[in-house]
Structure 1
Amino acid sequence: MEERLEGTEKEVLGLKEVMLELKKAVDQMANDMRKVFIGGEMSQYFRWVSDETQGKNE
């Protein structure tokens, strides 16, 4: 029983490490997306679309 509990504890700790790595990856992806949408090409595209829909580019 005790060996089984130790095995389960190791599995849980391993899963915790995997979850922390996934969180880091998702945080990095979110930061990259913010850079693209807020400070990059996409923000320029959205400004252009907004101007087009409001008739500013005529």
Structure 2
Amino acid sequence: MATVAWTAADVALDGGVRPAGPPDFGTLPPWLIALGLLGALVVAAPAWALRRLLLRHRRARLP
């Protein structure tokens, strides 16, 4: 039993066992951040253009 405990302690000291808690995945890779920003731009640009078009149409109909 002592051998198992010593082996577990050695592995823990070597970093083989991470501490309890939520997993730490580190920072996001730059390409993933760029992909997210590009996706937001692809969604936001048509929405912004449609909003401008609808506002222009609404102003034209006002007396």
Identity of aligned residues (%): 11
RMSD, matched Cα? 1.9
Q: Residues 9-53 of structure 1, C-alpha deviation per residue, up to 9 Å, x if partnerless?
A: 10101101212111101111111101211xxxxx1xxxxxxxxxx
Structure 2 unmatched ranges of 5 or more:
1-25
Counterpart mapping for 1:1-58 below 5 A: 4-37=29-62, 43=63
Number of residues of Structure 1 aligned to a counterpart in Structure 2: 37
Q: Which has the higher helix share?
A: 1
Q: Which runs of 4+ in 1 moved over 3 A?
A: none
Max Rg structure? 2
Code of the aligned partner of 2:60: K
- What TM-score do you get using the length of structure 2 for normalisation? 0.49
Code of the residue aligned with 1:11 in structure 2: it is G
Gaps of 5+ in 1: 38-42, 44-58
